[in-house]
């Protein structure tokens, strides 16, 4: 204790990233549009922020010779893929469907009539860039391409050219990108990319398609859209594990009071801090901690919710140095 009756405040804030517990930031998983149980946030290329994708098209080169209607073909994952919380080791079988969806289970994947996810009816565990009534016609191509070096490889599944059913004169083109990750327990980032979704059909732009990720039980899903024409050409949607996003809340620092501030007992102390640069879809929640020692052996916590500040009045029995 340095003096009485003055209170000496040492504002020794260290960012959350370094592990100091003075000011804590938490995020609650509240996605922008859906997928509350599937473990993802998602953004599209019309949005801003560090997590939103920028549309780009990977030119495919490794055609598989697959072409047909209401069929699916087996492929093998080139690296570990965790999807909706389930780990599929490298070499796992994944099925690529002619109707614009993939799944680690073949059951029901050839179904041309899409359903709104989540849905416990098969198919389940679908990865749906454009689940609709599609086909390859005579010149349809599906490509599987691996690009980059571990642990930052990308695996591309591309339908190009491909067709809406009964619209065989005007092809469409879209692809799925699986992004490799070396973060244990985190779902791989998955992107859907759309180069051309005008196929001279009432189905253009996703008007009769399911777009999203569904868990293997069919009870949870990150659904971007269902039967809605919301997919323009040259467009992308990105799905990112929400735990990964929420573990990176961004930098922030204390504004007031400053270091070595001195206040009287009974005075109102205005604690304010910069808002975190967190760019996720969750809600940002703050907790301020005060302690009599810099090691924070005993702390008092104040939950401020989404507010980046609080007022506090120290009593006469609370004199001393604070961190």
Among the listed residues 299, 296, 270, 275, the one whose alpha carbon sits nearest the alpha carbon of residue 285:
275
Residue with tokens 């269902």: 226
* pLDDT tens, position by position, 18-54: 223 355 666 665 554 444 478 999 999 999 888 999 9
Confidence of residue 8 (pLDDT cuts 50, 70, 90): very low
Name the residue ranges covered by the structural domains of the chain. 7-29+248-322, 56-233
pLDDT in tens, 82-128: 999 999 999 999 999 999 999 999 999 999 999 999 999 999 999 99
pLDDT single digits (tens) 214-260:
999 999 999 999 999 999 999 999 999 998 988 877 777 788 888 88
* Global confidence as pTM: 0.82
Note the pLDDT tens digit of each residue in 129-172.
999 999 999 899 999 999 999 999 999 999 999 999 999 999 99
């Amino acid at each position: 204790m340095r003096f009485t009756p003055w209170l000496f405040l040492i504002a020794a804030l260290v960012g959350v990233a370094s592990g100091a517990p003075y000011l804590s930031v938490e995020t609650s998983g509240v996605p922008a549009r859906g997928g509350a149980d599937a473990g993802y946030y998602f953004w599209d290329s019309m949005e801003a922020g560090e997590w939103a994708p920028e549309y780009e098209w990977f030119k495919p080169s490794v055609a598989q010779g697959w072409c047909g209607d209401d069929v699916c073909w087996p492929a093998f994952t080139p690296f570990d893929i965790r999807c909706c919380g389930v780990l599929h080791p490298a070499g796992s079988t994944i099925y690529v469907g002619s109707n614009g969806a993939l799944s680690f289970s073949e059951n029901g994947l050839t179904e041309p009539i899409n359903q709104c996810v989540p849905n416990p009816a098969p198919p389940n565990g679908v990865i749906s860039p454009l689940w609709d009534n599609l086909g390859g016609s005579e010149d349809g191509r599906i490509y599987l391409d691996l690009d980059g070096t571990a642990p930052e490889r990308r695996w591309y599944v591309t339908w190009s050219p491909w067709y809406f059913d009964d619209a065989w004169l005007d092809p469409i083109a879209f692809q799925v990108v699986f992004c490799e990750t070396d973060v244990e327990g985190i779902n791989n980032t998955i992107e859907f990319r759309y180069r051309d979704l005008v196929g001279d059909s009432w189905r253009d732009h996703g008007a009769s398609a399911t777009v999203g990720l569904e868990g293997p039980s069919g009870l949870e899903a990150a659904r971007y859209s269902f039967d809605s024409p919301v997919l323009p050409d040259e467009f992308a949607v990105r799905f990112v594990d929400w735990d990964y996003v929420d573990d990176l809340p961004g930098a922030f620092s204390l504004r007031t009071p400053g270091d070595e501030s001195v206040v009287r007992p009974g005075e109102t102390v205005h604690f304010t801090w910069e808002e975190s640069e967190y760019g996720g879809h969750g809600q940002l929640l703050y907790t301020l901690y005060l302690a009599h020692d810099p090691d924070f052996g005993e702390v008092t916590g104040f939950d401020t919710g989404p507010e980046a500040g609080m007022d506090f009045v120290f009593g006469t029995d609370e004199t001393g140095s604070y961190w």
